[in-house]
Amino acid sequence: MPELPEVESLRRLLVRSVVGRTIVHATVTNAALRRRVPSDFARQIVGRRIERLGRRAKYLMVELGGELTMLVHLGMSGSLTRRCGAFPESSFDRRHDHLELKLDDRSRLVFNDPRRFGLVKLVARADAASCSELRALGPEPLGPDFNSAYLAQKARGRRAAIKNFLMDQKVVAGIGNIYAAEILFRAGVRPARRVYTLSRTELKRIAEATPNVLREAIGLRGTTFRSYRDSRGKPGAFSRRLKVYGRENEPCPRCWAPIKNVVVGQRASFFCPRCQH
């Protein structure tokens, strides 16, 4: 489940190998993603140079020549891999390869997504920030606008559980189920706590834990849970650092109490019943 750290890791890995390359050919083998890939997609991007790779929330922004930006969202199960002669084709599961971009160094960028919750969309660069996917997003959790004062202001009058609140992309952009659980563990706050009941101290701990957890995960190239792989097809290393996510009944790394899993807002929510209040 790619969240901000996984997308940022992907961006950093691809920067070295694809920036400056030109797309010489594009193939759409399955256009039925979250939104249908338009029929002129290939024609729109062929011949353009990849000028810059950016990121907003969980969106990778591939800035192409001619003021065109390709937004890529990996959804639940998507991956973008660079494939070249160095790796045998048999090392990839090609069943769900939907898009393939051939570059001028004979490498290929392939978008693969079994569940097809992902999104690939072209938008004029000047309009990117105001497109329907990006315009309502809250601040970046690693940016200067995200802090406890901001959280407290957004939290006023909201009855939502803190975990749903952190996963609300309009509140803060880029956090999903895994990192919400880890942030709340480190902040010592239960996922089901309603946001308006949180003390200033608790909000402060959450605001501080958020960038700390995300930065640590980026440093380890993200989390692999089930199927996520980075752009070279390698698993991320943060998985082993997960303190609560996916660890139901395992001992809490801090106090040894068994980790619990409760459903909050229709999502599995792991927490330590002794450390989190």
Look up tokens 């960028």; give the residue. 109
Q: Does 266 bind DNA (CB under 7 A)?
A: yes
Catalytic residue among 35, 125, 241, 267: 267
Binding to DNA by residue 160, rule CB under 7 A? Answer: yes
- Report the distance separating Cα 13 and Cα 236, nearest Å: 12
Which of 52, 59, 49 has its CA nearest to residue 80? 59
Compute the radius of gyration of the chain from its Cα atoms. Answer: 20
The residue to which tokens 């601040």 are assigned: 139
Taking CA atoms, 184 is separated from 115, 188, 247, in Å, by: 28, 6, 15
Could you tell me whether strands 23-28 and 97-103 are parallel, antiparallel, or unpaired per DSSP bridges? antiparallel
User: How many of the chain's residues bind DNA (CB under 7 A)?
Assistant: 36
By CB under 7 A, which span of 45-53, 114-122, 229-237, 252-260 interacts with DNA?
A: 114-122
Q: Counting contacts by CB under 7 A, is residue 3 touching DNA?
A: yes
2 tagged catalytic: yes
What does the alpha-carbon distance between residue 3 and residue 10 come to, in Å, rounded to a whole number? Answer: 11
* Segment interacting with DNA (CB under 7 A) among 18-26, 44-52, 163-171, 201-209: 163-171
How near is the Cβ of 105 to DNA at its closest, in Å?
Answer: 30
Residues making contact with DNA (CB under 7 A)? 1, 3, 32, 34, 57-58, 73, 75-77, 95-96, 114-117, 132-133, 157-160, 164, 167, 169-170, 176-178, 195, 226-227, 265-268
Active site residues: 2-3, 58, 267
